Structure 1
Amino acid sequence: MNTQDLAPVTGPLDTIHVRPSAEGDVGAIAAIYGHHVLHGTGSFETEPPGAEEMRRRRADILARGLPYLVAEDGDGAVLGYAYASAYRPRAAYRNTAENSVYVRHDVIGRGVGRLLLAELLTQCEALGVRQMVAVVGDSANVASVRLHEAFGFRLVGTLSSVGRKHGRWLDTVLLQRALGEGDRTDSAEGE
């Protein structure tokens, strides 16, 4: 499925519903991500992965017990998706997750990303995640940085010119937010 396969959204987005993703959403997820890979700098991938690869990636997230969500409109059209992944594979990082939020290009700025990120943070906190990290591709991606800041993320660093895409050097912006008790206690689950 490519972005031309996504039905246009013409009505108001006041009936957006965030829910766990389903196997049947993978085509729309791949189309949304593919558009961002080809036309944006939020992802440093240069070739869009197909539906089978996106299916594998989703299954890996779910197998770790982490949330993988979609936002849909009243007609059931997928408008965006978000998921949490392990920040790093080593055991000491087990209470830290990284978030990813992608919204259909034709509904950006209409609140879809806010709904997805809010629910993702709620679910991750309930799972015992203590720190959430956002790795934003391209320091010019102001919308993503502002979205995270609106949810209490703070800028913790910028890696300058670590990627090259669309003929230019790109930064990576790192933001972080504590969830639940964060680091205010001496122990964490699973320690």
Structure 2
Amino acid sequence: MSTIRAATAADLPAVAAVYAPYVLDSVITFEETPPEPSAWREKLTAGLPFLVAEVDGRVAGFAYAGRYRPRPAYRYSLEDSIYLAPWAQGRGLGRALLAALVSACRDSGAGQLIAVIADTGDPSSVKLHLAAGFEEVGRLRRVGFKHGRWVDTTLLQLALD
């Protein structure tokens, strides 16, 4: 049985464990070293939605919203992040997490939700966002360099208001 719920401090080690392989072994995220525990605590206490998917009492993935950009005029625009443990993929948890995150972002008063998706050659993240109502609005070429290669990003946007 799966549940989508607000993340707690007790979930953060499991969240970090889900995320670390993406940092170390892929170009899905542009981080090059896994975040310290303090970085996860900051995300949890930032006052923005941070959710986990739990399967049989085990954290299977997470989604959170962060500020799209730090300047004050962007304060109503958020960026989403969603990650699933490999064993949890293909169960509809990504869809469920994204739907719950969109709802929580609407409730927060945000006006726009932005997805910045690394072009890894796998279209599943773009398809997930399109199915949730996001619109593809652009592409940034060769903006990330990781694991010896340049990576493009696809930008998607969802109006929340």
TM-score tier, shorter chain, comes to: over 0.9
Q: Name the residue aligned to 1:68.
A: 50
Cα deviations across residues 63-85 of structure 1 (Å, max 9, x unaligned)? xx211000101x21000000111
Larger radius of gyration: 1
Q: How many residues are paired up?
A: 161
Question: Using CA pairs below 8 Å that are at least 6 residues apart, which structure has the higher relative contact order?
Answer: 2
Among all aligned residue pairs of Structure 1 and Structure 2, give the percentage whose two residues are the same amino acid: 47
State the 4+ residue runs in structure 1 displaced beyond 4 angstroms.
none
Matched, 1:22 2:4: no
Amino acid at match of 1:68: F
The 8 Å contact of residues 132 and 176 in structure 1, kept in 2 or not, is answered as yes
CA positional deviation for 1:50: 3.4
Question: TM-score w.r.t. structure 2 length?
Answer: 0.93
CA positional deviation for 1:91: 2.4
Matched, 1:157 2:103: no
CA distance in 1, matches of 2:63, 2:95: 10
The 8 Å contact of residues 28 and 78 in structure 1, kept in 2 or not, is answered as yes
Pairwise CA RMSD of aligned residues? 1.4
Question: Cα gap change, 1:56/1:123 in structure 2, threshold over 3 Å: closer, same or farther?
Answer: closer
Structure 2 unaligned spans of 5+: none
Q: Name the residue aligned to 1:86.
A: 67
CA distance in 1, matches of 2:114, 2:108: 15
Cα deviations across residues 126-162 of structure 1 (Å, max 9, x unaligned)? 1221111001122524111111001011111111111
- Normalized per residue, the structure richer in strand is 2
The 8 Å contact of residues 30 and 144 in structure 2, kept in 1 or not, is answered as yes
The 8 Å contact of residues 42 and 141 in structure 1, kept in 2 or not, is answered as no
CA distance in 2, matches of 1:31, 1:50: 11
CA distance in 2, matches of 1:128, 1:95: 7
